Amino acid sequence: MAKTPSQVEVMGKVNVELTPEQILFASERTPVLGTVPAVIVEAVSDCAFYFDLPVDQRSALDAARRKTGALRRDYLRSILSRHYAELQTSGRVFPKPLPPPEFPSDFDPHGPTRTTVSVPFRLSNYIEEREVERPLVRHVLVEALDDIGTYFSAPPDQRQLLERERAALSKTLGEVLTHREHIRIILSDTARSLSGQ
């Protein structure tokens, strides 16, 4: 009987080089996941599978995406753009953005910023989809990390307002909300509105 690839089987190991900004994005999740490669795999998985939302919400988002014919990354960008437009017209007042995270104490900005990522098979379809624009797998991997930290390369005005909303939510929750958690909230709200909940 043929074996299908599981979530732990690796399609390959890829060396990636990270910018200092990408290391900062990764530092939001390394306390939870332990390593930068694990954060990168999570970032790609988030982009591929709608930030690990419940199955019904992922299904609603994917069905809506398929109706538009958009690729997953483009669809996620459009959701964030629509959310920005809603915030802009809401009349809500937001606090200043949170201060940028600081580099880990052991970070050497002149030291090596390379790491090796074991890429699971479950991400192969998303990587193939992105390889049309990003022909090298390592570029797809770091792009996913960038996408989460920059709200999918949102223009500066959109990113600024989304950062201010993240600060407001962090204040309400009493703890710093990561970019990943913020995007997940936005997607969850969108999925609920799509399914009429």
Q: Tell me the pLDDT tens digit for each residue of 86-125.
A: 999 999 999 999 988 777 677 776 666 889 999 999 999 9
H/E run at residue 114: strand 114-120
159 belongs to a structural domain: yes
Find the mean pLDDT for residues 172-178: 94
**Side chain identity at 134, as an amino acid letter?**
R
Whole-number pLDDT of residue 6: 47
pLDDT tens figures, 138-174: 999 999 999 999 999 999 999 999 999 999 999 999 9
1 belongs to a structural domain: no
pLDDT tens figures, 26-79: 988 988 999 999 999 999 999 999 999 999 999 999 999 999 999 999 999 999
93 belongs to a structural domain: yes
pLDDT above 70: residue 4: no
Whole-number pLDDT of residue 112: 65
Q: Following DSSP, what letter does each residue of 5-31 receive, concatenated? A: P-TT-EEEEEEEE--HHHHHHHHTTHH
Number of domains in the chain: 1
First and final C-alpha spacing in the chain: 42
Full domain range(s) for residue 51: 10-194
118 belongs to a structural domain: yes
Whole-number pLDDT of residue 111: 66
Q: Is 118 helix (H, G, I), strand (E, B) or coil?
A: strand
Whole-number pLDDT of residue 152: 94
List of residues 6+ apart from 123 with CB closer than 8 A: 11, 41, 44, 45, 48
178 belongs to a structural domain: yes
Question: What pTM was computed for the model?
Answer: 0.88
Percent of the chain with pLDDT over 90: 74
Positive or negative torsion for Cα 34, 72, 181, 197: negative
Residue with tokens 């109706």: 67
Positive or negative torsion for Cα 126, 56, 182, 30: negative
183 belongs to a structural domain: yes
Ramachandran region of residue 174, left (φ > 0), alpha (ψ -120 to 50) or beta? Answer: left
116 belongs to a structural domain: yes
pLDDT above 80: residue 3: no
5 belongs to a structural domain: no
| Phi, psi dihedral angles at 46 (to 5 degrees) | -60, -45
